[in-house]
Amino acid sequence: MIERIQQIQTDIDAYHFDEKHQAENFRLFYLSKKGIITELFEDFKSCSVEEKKSLGSVLNQLKKSAENKYTEQKELEESQKELNQTAEDISLPVYQFAEGSLHPLRIVEDRLLEIFYSLGFDVSEGPEIEDDYHNFGALNFAEDHPARDMQDTFFIAEHVLRTHTSSVQIREMEKGKLPLRLVMPGRVYRNEAVSARSNCFFHQIEGLYIDKGVSFADLKQTLYYFVQQFFGKGTRVRFRSSYFPFTEPSAEMDIWAGLDTEENRRLTKGTGWLEVLGCGMVHPNVLKSCNIDPEEYSGFAFGMGIDRITMLKYGITDIRDFFINDIRMFKQFAGV
Ligand code: DAH
């Protein structure tokens, strides 16, 4: 009997599990009621006392090693089954995705518009190719008035590439629905030499609020709110009187950038103040050209350059960097 036990032990040690030889096959063959080891125990009962003494522990050990081998394999099979049930195959290598980002001008435009949405402004857009009337005439630029030279214009036959988003004000007022509270983002064009600080196209957001009893105080408060939201609480602001044909009175708004860095001294030409936008009360002639009675309605307007504001916000020193599409620059805006 001892030889049988030893033979079975050798077989068990050499037992190799595979698709056809799984834990359950092993159990049936060795450990079940009709299994070889159970049979051995049956035979053991009829052995003499002497034999029992010498065989008992060997037989028990055989059973133990078979049971261990069985449970080990059973656990392995169970964990493999679990793995197969999960949706992802965690053993597959992952794909490497490059992280994209919005364009910095888009990020800033979105943020600016959001601030005005929170004040109840809606958004509107107009065409980039305009007629002279909407870009100049209706905005109170007189024929041959030197003010037209303020903005070097690209002409396309009878049309112009709009030099500012103020043309969209006219298109909105012409629709004849009042009151109006709008922000109007878009690209504008000027026939200017391209340099680090100026480009032949850039981006603006125009603002317009027309209603009964709108005052310059409303304009100041709106812009003051915008500055605190965008540039941070406590940012200092100043209004300087200015001239635009389509507003009266007109102003430009500066924010305090400070003089503490070389960059700020350069940007502000040594004054510490940075011009952010032009604004004013909509000129009565402009209202009239859109069939709005200036005795009944008044309004304010403003226009700001998105490119400049973005350069300021992120310390970008060359406006051309926005358009050379260098992925190393845009990568820095992922998740901003
Ligand atoms: N259109 C002006 C420009 O491009 C900016 C501007 C100034 C817009 C005053 C306005 C305004 O609406 O009221 O330089």
C-alpha of residue 156 to centroid of ligand 1, in Å: 22
Q: Compute the chain's Rg from CA coordinates.
A: 41
Report residue 91's pLDDT band, with 50, 70 and 90 as the boundaries.
confident
Beta carbons within 10 angstroms of residue 178's beta carbon: 14
Q: If you measure from the C-alpha of residue 175 to the centroid of ligand 1, how many angstroms do you get, rounded to a whole number?
A: 21
Q: Which of 134, 164, 214, 309 to mutate to test the pocket of ligand 1 (most atoms within 8 A of CB)?
A: 164
Phi, psi of 273 (to 5 degrees): -100, 140
CA distance 206 to 65: 84
Report CA(129)–ligand 1 centroid distance (Å): 18
β-strand partners of 251: 241, 279
Say whether pTM exceeds 0.85: no
Q: Is the CB of 247 under 6 A from ligand 1?
A: yes
Which among 183, 157, 190 has a CA at the least distance from the CA of 279?
Answer: 183
* Helical spans, DSSP H, in 139-283: 166-174, 216-231, 262-267
With the most atoms of ligand 1 within 8 angstroms of its CB, the residue from 152, 302, 308 to mutate is 302
DSSP H or E stretch at residue 252: strand 247-256
Residue 18 vs residues 15, 89, 147, 149: alpha-carbon distances, Å: 10, 22, 90, 88
Say what the pLDDT of residue 113 is.
98
Atom of ligand 1 nearest to the CA of 300: 13
Q: What are the pLDDT digits (tens) for 48-67?
A: 898 888 899 999 999 999 99
138 Cα to the center of ligand 1, angstroms: 14
DSSP strand pairing (122-123 vs 159-161): unpaired
Mean pLDDT across the chain: 92
Q: Is the distance from the beta carbon of residue 278 to the nearest atom of ligand 1 less than 6 Å? A: yes
CA of 58 to the centre of ligand 1 (A): 100
Asked if pLDDT for residue 89 goes beyond 80, the answer is: no
Q: Which of 244, 247, 277 to mutate to test the pocket of ligand 1 (most atoms within 8 A of CB)?
A: 244
Neighbours of 231 (CB within 10 A): 19
Q: What is the pLDDT of residues 138-191, one digit of tens each?
A: 999 988 876 566 678 898 888 999 999 999 999 999 999 999 999 999 999 999
Question: Averaged over 220-244, what is the pLDDT?
Answer: 96
pLDDT at 66: 95
How is the chain split into domains, by residue range? 2-86, 107-333
Q: Once rounded to an integer, what is the mean pLDDT over residues 302-311? A: 95
Element housing 256 (H / E)? strand 247-256
Closest Cα to residue 17, out of 62, 72, 59?
A: 72
Question: Fold for domain 107-333?
Answer: BirA Bifunctional Protein; domain 2 (3.30.930)
Ranges of H-type helices in the chain: 2-14, 23-26, 36-45, 49-85, 104-117, 132-135, 166-174, 216-231, 262-267, 284-289, 306-314, 327-330
If one compares 281 and 191, the residue with the highest pLDDT of the two is 281
| pLDDT value of position 30 | 95
